[in-house]
Structure 1
Amino acid sequence: MKIAIAIVHGMGQQKLDFYLAMESLLIKKMALVNPSIQLHIEGVFWGDITDKLEKKLWARTQAIHQHHGKPTRLRSFVLNYLGDVIAYQAVPKENDPCPNDYIYDDIHKRYAECLLRLSKKAGENAPLCVISHSLGTIISSNFFYDLQNNKMIQKAADVINSSNSNLVKGQTLTHFYTLGSPIALWTMRFEHFGIPIRVPAPNLKKLAIGEWVNFYDKNDLLAFPIKGLNPQYYKNVSKDVEVRCPGILSWTPLSHEKYLKSHEVADQIVKSLSELGKKKEGK
């Protein structure tokens, strides 16, 4: 059995290979738990889209923010993190002079392209598992919300509509994992804390497969439990799971960066995907 996995990174400076540590953990662990399952894994890399704007901003402002002739590292850190959040949530306006610079749509296009690659590798009807971290949890939530509510914007919609794949259209989404998620903070924009995506995908509900698990480290200042946000979240989120992120600084807020290297997280994901395989195989 083939399972498609999309791994989505969070805020801050990222590299193209950001997902390889988690990929290695999942493949090795699945080989031991259920070797009949083939995992096809791709990363949704979007960091370079916001980095371009952040570099322009830095170039235009750093001259007035020097300390003994050197740019402050803390200011650079804040720009890399908060810049991603601010750039992503921009909203297009009527008569927009820069319609092609709509970051939200550009990032969602990357997301759709990743699903297209996964569909070609794992199959158009392969179960889809999404593992998202930090701001990537919000991006993933928005992407599938737009898919499930016919709100996808042009660039991403063009990629999705170019394929007849159920996977690309989000109809095979079975497992959703949010790691170090600031979704709770994001939902403060809404009076009743918003509407969550449906996991598994609406057309799979009757099959009683899949889950949405939210992993958080209590030392991570950006991560919150989300199941109790409102009745809709309570219904759609399977559970909040507290974990301890790896590393010598796991007791500090820097734990936010370590979820994608967590054996504890990988173990729980592999266990659930293995159970999905058994159900599909009728065991």
Structure 2
Amino acid sequence: MAKKVVFLTIHGMGDTEPGYANDIVEAMREKLTDDWDAVEHRSIYYQTFLQPNEYQYYNATKSRVSWGQLRKLMINGFADAGSLEYSRGTPGGPYYLTQDHIFTTLGQIYDDLGGTSLPVVVIAHSLGCEVISNYIWDANKEDKTYGYWKDAEKNAANDGRLKFQKLQNLRLLFTTGCNIPVFITGLKEEERIPINKPHKDFIWENYYDKDDVLGYPLTELSPAYGALVKDVKVSVGNLFTGWNPFSHNEYWDNSGIQRELSKHLKAFV
């Protein structure tokens, strides 16, 4: 069956393995049955640029501090966000390498599909929501005088491929446990500006659990976010995680979220 939609998964912060998306991909495969063959899936894995460095520091200091496992959790989690933002303007830094990884992956997809610009569906979790938002923002802004896109655009293979790599064919941004507010609520309301809508059919659905202290609604950030994003309140997790902050890691296992995501994918095939 010919491919009809591209499905990208992007993980969040913390100790993450390359196979992080296996369960959600298998859930989509089961729900779409034969139609899954029309879906081109790729996983974005940016921990390659962060996790080894975090492990190096943790292992070097763990004998000198207490609460080792909690410290490991803090380093593996919050160092991801801090290191990405800190290195925003540094060539070869984690921010730069993460953007290059997304850019390269999209280029490979475009080539593998024979130069066809299929609609794209992205599901991003936690810090991954900030990562993909930054990528889209940087890729499509007019001023490209710094960072990854300073050279990426002028070295692009062709216009069709570049437009696809800029995610100008993004049809659905599906975010879960999104912590974009953590990065921008220190700004005045009028300064909290979201990505531009890539085209009239673009949809952004944001799923949050009220007990998840790392996941937030977005529509109250500013009128601009309110006009762009549809917030969906959900209850995720089980008896032990559904009523507390541990719910943050339970979104992709939630049957309701899987059902909604599969409906969106189904609409393209």
TM-score by length of 1: 0.82
1:268 positional shift: 1.0
| Counterpart check, 1:188 vs 2:182 | no
> Displacement of 1:156 after TM fit?
8.9
1:27 corresponding residue in structure 2: 29
CA-atom RMSD in angstroms = 2.4
Q: Which residue of 1 aligns with 2:261?
A: 269
Q: Deviations over 1:241-276 (max 9, x none)?
A: 112224442222111112222221121122233335
1:106 aligned to 90, 97, 103, which one? Answer: 97
Deviation at 1:230? Answer: 0.8
Change (3 A) 1:157 1:25: farther
Instruction: Say yes or no: does 1:174 pair with 2:176.
Output: no
Are the aligned partners of 1:135 and 1:181 in contact in 2 as well (CA < 8 Å)? yes
1:242 aligned residue: 233
Matches within 5 A, 1:188-267: 188-192=185-189, 194-199=192-197, 201=198, 204-205=199-200, 209-237=201-229, 239-248=230-239, 249-267=241-259
State the percentage of identical aligned residues. 23
Name the structure 2 match of 1:281.
none
- Distance in 2 between the 1:216 and 1:118 partners? 30
- String of CA shifts for 1:22-68, please: whole Å, max 9, x gaps: 11112221237xx3871111110011211122123223432321x4x
What SS does the corresponding residue of 2:173 show, helix, strand or coil?
A: strand
Q: Indicate yes or no: 2:108 matched with 1:117.
A: yes
Residue equivalent to 1:17: 19
Using the alignment, how far apart are the partners of 2:149 and 2:186 within structure 1? Answer: 25
Q: Deviation of residue 92 (structure 1)?
A: 5.8
Aligned to 1:45: 45
Change in Cα spacing, 1:104 to 1:253, as seen in structure 2 (3 Å) is same
Secondary structure, aligned partner of 2:213? coil
Q: Distance in 2 between matches of 1:129 and 1:37?
A: 15
Q: CA–CA distance in 1 between the matches of 2:151 and 2:24?
A: 29
Distance 2:58 2:124 in 1: 28
Is the CA contact (8 Å cut-off) linking 1:130 and 1:175 kept in structure 2? yes
CA contact (8 A) 1:40 1:121 kept: no
Runs (5+) with no aligned partner, structure 1: 94-98, 278-283
Please report the TM-score for the alignment, with normalisation by the length of structure 2.
0.86
- 2:49 paired with 1:58: no
Counterpart of 2:213 in structure 1: which amino acid? L
SS in 2 for 1:131: strand
SS at match of 1:161: coil
Structure 2 equivalent of residue 87 of structure 1: 83
Cα distance in 1 between the residues matched to 2:93 and 2:252:
28
Matched residue type, 1:28: E
Pair 1:156–1:14, CA change in 2 (3 A)? farther
